[in-house]
């Protein structure tokens, strides 16, 4: 009897293992459209862009292979270096304040306070508003003569400033507008992270006599590490892609103080029709963004070591 039982058991195991190896064609068919769209509109254009970066393509003539000349030109292009510097400055002074303010607002609006729903919606609305519309609004705010900002500082006895026309204040003005627009997204993501933290942790901390500040730094901040990591990665990618607000508000000026890499790519490609050179810029930007993202994944603490039962 035992050998027969053992044989039947082995038979069942084989059938089970065989069923695991069965290919689910229906599943592959359902995900195929998504992969097809990615392949046609992202992967293939990416390869074409890399190819164009080694050519002198200019929209009118057939592309001719010129090797590394476009990349060599980039090394001596002071305007591209300025654009790269501006992009890093923009990313640095946008990401950190945005994450800090988003966390503060999420923490305040996570409690039971009056007007919580209205406050959340008001802060988040700019994030879903068109960048063109937001840029036009802030153009009026920064207007030297009619802008509400200069009118406000006049009340306090300060002289009006040329916010977008002064190289010393133009980039700061763009950064402030960008933080205002994107802070709602950061707040919503942090809110989701805060609401996923088990309340039992705070209850146990209260029993132990921990203050609210101690709970925030010992419980909230560590438990939000995966959320912070996600926001950091997405913010880095979005910051290096900045274009609309720069193109609308300053056109890269004054004196190229606000031009960015994507703005230079746009100018070289659609103003100078140097598609090959613009493609080389795009490849360099892609590589830098990829390296920064990989570094975030490598050294960013994703909170995988946190396990709350």
Per residue in 53-65, pLDDT (tens digit) is: 999 998 888 889 9
Instruction: Give the pLDDT mean for 21-28.
Output: 79
pLDDT classification of 293: cutoffs 50, 70, 90:
confident
pLDDT score, position 150: 92
pTM for this prediction:
0.84
pLDDT score, position 5: 46
pLDDT score, position 12: 47
Q: Which residue has the tokens 């900045």?
A: 242
Element (H, E) at 19: helix 2-20
Instruction: Give the pLDDT mean for 253-278.
Output: 94
pLDDT score, position 130: 93
**CA–CA gap between residue 248 and residue 132 (Å, rounded):** 7
pLDDT score, position 128: 92
Measured in degrees and rounded to the nearest 5, phi and psi for residue 166 equal -115, 125
Q: What is the DSSP track for 90-151?
A: HHHHHHHHHHHHHHHHHHHHTS--TTHHHHHHHHHHHHHS-HHHHHHHHHHHT-TTT-HHHH
pLDDT score, position 21: 63
pLDDT score, position 20: 56
| Residue ranges in the chain assigned as alpha helix (H) | 2-20, 25-38, 44-52, 69-75, 78-109, 116-128, 131-141, 148-155, 170-195, 199-207, 212-215, 221-223, 225-240, 244-249, 261-270, 275-299
pLDDT score, position 157: 86
Judged against a pLDDT cut of 60, whether residue 302 lies above it is answered with no
Instruction: Give the pLDDT mean for 14-37.
Output: 74
Judged against a pLDDT cut of 80, whether residue 16 lies above it is answered with no
The model's pLDDT over 67-111, given as tens digits with 9 standing for 90+, comes to 999 999 999 999 999 999 999 999 999 999 999 999 999 999 988
Boundaries of every domain in the chain: 73-134+170-299
| Cβ 149 vs Cβ 141: under 8 Å | yes
The CATH number assigned to the domain with range 73-134+170-299 reads: 1.10.3720.10
Tell me 242's DSSP state.
Answer: -
**294 vs 15, residue with greater confidence:** 294
The model's pLDDT over 203-253, given as tens digits with 9 standing for 90+, comes to 898 888 888 899 899 999 999 999 999 999 999 999 999 999 999 999 998
- Residue 229 burial (CB count, 10 A): 17
């Amino acid at each position: 009897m035992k050998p027969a039982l053992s044989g039947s058991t082995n038979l069942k195991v084989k059938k089970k293992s065989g069923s695991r190896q069965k290919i689910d064609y229906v599943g592959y068919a359902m995900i195929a459209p998504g992969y097809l769209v990615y392949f046609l509109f992202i992967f293939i254009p990416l390869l074409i862009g890399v190819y164009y970066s080694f050519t002198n393509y200019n929209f009118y003539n057939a592309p001719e292979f010129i090797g590394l000349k476009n990349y060599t030109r980039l090394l001596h292009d002071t305007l591209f270096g300025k654009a790269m510097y501006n992009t890093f400055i923009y990313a640095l002074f946008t990401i950190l304040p945005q994450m800090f303010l988003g966390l503060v607002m999420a923490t305040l609006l996570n409690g039971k306070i009056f007007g919580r729903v209205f406050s959340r919606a008001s802060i988040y609305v700019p994030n879903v508003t068109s960048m063109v519309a937001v840029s036009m609004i802030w153009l009026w705010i920064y207007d030297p003569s009619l802008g509400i900002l200069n009118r406000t500082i006049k009340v306090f006895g300060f002289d009006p400033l040329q916010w977008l026309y002064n190289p010393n204040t133009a980039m700061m003005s763009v950064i402030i507008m960008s933080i205002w627009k994107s802070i709602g997204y950061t707040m919503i993501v942090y809110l989701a992270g805060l609401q996923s933290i088990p309340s039992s942790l705070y209850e146990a901390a209260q029993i132990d006599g921990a203050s609210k500040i101690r709970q925030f730094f010992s419980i909230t901040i560590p438990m939000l590490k995966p959320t912070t990591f996600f926001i950091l990665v997405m913010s880095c990618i979005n910051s290096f892609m900045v274009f609309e607000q720069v193109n609308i508000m300053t056109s890269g000026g004054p004196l190229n103080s606000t031009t960015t890499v994507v703005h230079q790519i746009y100018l070289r490609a659609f103003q100078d029709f140097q598609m090959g050179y613009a493609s080389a810029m795009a490849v360099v930007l892609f590589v830098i963004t990829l390296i920064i993202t990989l570094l975030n994944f490598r050294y960013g603490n994703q909170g995988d070591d946190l396990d709350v039962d």
